[in-house]
Amino acid sequence: MTRAFFNGQPAAAAELQPLALANYGHFTSMQVRARAVRGLDLHLQRLKAGTRELFDSPLEEARIRIAILAALDADGVDDASVRVTVFSRAFDYTRPDAVVPVDVLVSLTAPREADPKPAWVKTYPFQRPLPQLKHVGTFPLFQSRRQARRDGFDDALFVDPKGRISEGSVWNIGFWDGTQVIWPQAEALRGTEERLLQLGLAEIGVTQRHTPVEARALGGLRAAFAANATGIWPIAGIDDLALRPDPALMERLAAARATQPWQPLGPG
């Protein structure tokens, strides 16, 4: 069950109405363990940059940390799946250019870990608007995932107008050609987990390359994987192309992930 906290206090329905009606804001999702987060600095950067872009307002790092800790305190937990959403009750769609103060909504659910089961995905044409922002316009993501499951697949993978693979519904994708990790080069939301993996792979000496990957030209790639804040999991196939999961690759990715420290939300 989701528990929501508005500016550090249990959220009331009236306080959430502006977000529900205007659907204007941005967010980040993270896994908290022992009140620490892998890649916390990346999540904080995302929230501060998104707030500047959408509201022309500052968002102090301390305010974000305090809001998350207050929610954990109120719920009496140290481990959780946490979503931090930034919006504004003062936002007026008739004057969207007005500078307005922002509100911070923290939502808690049970801790999650990625399902290690290999996923078979289906491609759909879609280009995320404003891919530099993790905004609340998630309708096409979930609808595509729903359609993929109705079509007998596990999830949706997006391709841009040029046929290049960009990202999954709520995850990033990477490939393995036998010697190096290939990150598809296309407009996409660059996830915090993707960045942590890149840092970790560099640390353990795995070669990486960014290059366009066409959905119809995957023959030279031996394996693929997905990643988001819950973890990593193998991709078993894309459309009608089977990709054999590579245990050695998954071990490398797990080792890379393990190099990235858990950063505390509060003072030690």
pLDDT at 7: 77
Pairwise CA distance, residues 43 & 131, whole Å: 16
- In single-letter form, the type of residue at position 70 comes to A
Q: Is 76 left (phi over 0), alpha (psi -120 to 50) or beta?
A: left
Question: Which residue's entry shows tokens 């959430």?
Answer: 16
Pairwise CA distance, residues 43 & 28, whole Å: 6
Predicted confidence (pLDDT) at residue 8 exceeds the cutoff of 80: no
- Dump pLDDT digits (tens) for 106-142: 999 999 999 999 999 999 999 999 999 999 999 999 9
CA max distance for the chain:
54
- Dump pLDDT digits (tens) for 208-241: 999 999 998 898 899 999 999 999 999 999 999 9
Domains of the chain plus CATH, in order, are 3-109 (3.30.470.10), 119-258 (3.20.10.10)
pLDDT band at 1 (very low <50, low <70, confident <90, very high): low
DSSP at 267: -
Q: Is 44 left (phi over 0), alpha (psi -120 to 50) or beta?
A: alpha
Give the residue ranges of DSSP H helices in 111-190.
139-150
Residue 167: phi and psi, rounded to 5, are: -165, 165
Do 190 and 172 meet the contact criterion of CB atoms below 8 Å apart?
yes
Predicted confidence (pLDDT) at residue 268 exceeds the cutoff of 70: no
Residue 244: phi and psi, rounded to 5, are: -75, 125
Pairwise CA distance, residues 195 & 72, whole Å: 26
- Dump pLDDT digits (tens) for 178-192: 999 999 999 999 999
pLDDT band at 6 (very low <50, low <70, confident <90, very high): confident
Return the ∠ at Cα 159 (arms to 157 and 162), rounded to 5°: 170
- Dump pLDDT digits (tens) for 10-60: 888 777 887 878 889 999 999 999 999 999 999 999 999 999 999 999 999
In 3-state terms, what secondary structure has residue 51?
helix
- Dump pLDDT digits (tens) for 234-250: 999 999 999 989 999 99
The share of the chain scoring above pLDDT 90, in percent, equals 88
